[in-house]
Amino acid sequence: MKRIIFLSLTVIAVSCGTNESKKSQETKDVNSEYQLVWQDEFTEDGKPDSTKWDFERGFIRNKEKQYYTDRNVFVNDGNLVIRAQKDTIKNARFNSNGKIWQEKEEFASYSAGSVTTAGKVAWKYGRIEIKAKLPKGRGLWPAIWMLGENRKEVGWPETGEIDIMEHVGFNSDSIFGTVHTKAYNHMNGTEQGKSIFIEDPYDSYHVYAVEWTPEKIDFLLDGTVYNSFKNEYKTTAEWPFDQKFHLKINIAIGGMWGGRKGIDDSVFPQEMLVDYVRIYQKAEK
């Protein structure tokens, strides 16, 4: 069982380079204004805690090649395990006359896992922190990210998206932290994101986090801030982040970004190991 220490919690920055100026970075601890309000330490083997997590299933987004199933997600030896593998999965939405891409394939060639707190719990502001080890291989696209709770009412990108960590296997030494809004999104080429060099993401655990306030969203790798998105105080088109957001953790295979340089089938199976998820918020005054 993992030893868990919450008092005087300090995150130590890795010594690494980045494609952004080091002068723009700073190292931040979980400061004394924050208190732990939600966590999952994944100490019980089996399926994830159903009071905290739900599963995504099927073909979902971005023309990705994996079919999400709940059997690709489990807890083992103190980790949430999300597995990606070569597979043959019947598509429950298959329609020989299908109009949308999710209906056109009778069988998927890959399966993977995606968990979400949607419908369970969501947060407005705070420090969202995940310690994880990433899967390896060209074509893989692991992500830790958040969507606004009003997504069904207003759609994407109006709801807002916070990409705490994205990694693509063809760019093995970088991770990305990005926001998407109606004004700033990848469909228009205006997304607000930066990357940072990461050393040994596949064999070592790293701490991926955002610190989100009404004024800005800071993106952190092992305590180092490498991207900061500031509230311009205009409209929700620029800043839709004054509402609750839920969390998602998944491995995608292929798709609009992850598949840009193809998929290396020799790497499968691969796993993302999540040691913990911890949510901190400032105490109400």
CA distance 126 to 261: 36
The range of the structural domain enclosing residue 251 comes to: 28-282
In a domain, 11, yes or no: no
**Span 9-15, average pLDDT:** 35
DSSP 270: E
Cis omega (within 30 of 0) for bond into 48? no
Q: Report the range of poorest mean pLDDT among 13-22, 36-45, 222-231, 271-280.
A: 13-22
CA distance 60 to 112: 12
What average pLDDT is seen over the chain?
91
pLDDT tier, 32 (very low <50, low <70, confident <90, very high otherwise): confident
In a domain, 269, yes or no: yes
Q: Report the range of poorest mean pLDDT among 25-29, 117-121, 204-208, 237-241.
A: 25-29
Res 62 pLDDT > 50: yes
In a domain, 152, yes or no: yes
In a domain, 4, yes or no: no
pTM: 0.89
Res 14 pLDDT > 50: no
- Number of structural domains (the chain) is 1
DSSP 41: -
Catalytic entry in 56, 64, 161, 271: 161
Catalytic entry in 56, 129, 158, 166: 166
CATH number reported for the structural domain that contains residue 208 in this entry: 2.60.120.200
pLDDT tier, 284 (very low <50, low <70, confident <90, very high otherwise): confident
Residue 285 pLDDT = 58
Residue 191 known to be catalytic: no
Residue 166 known to be catalytic: yes
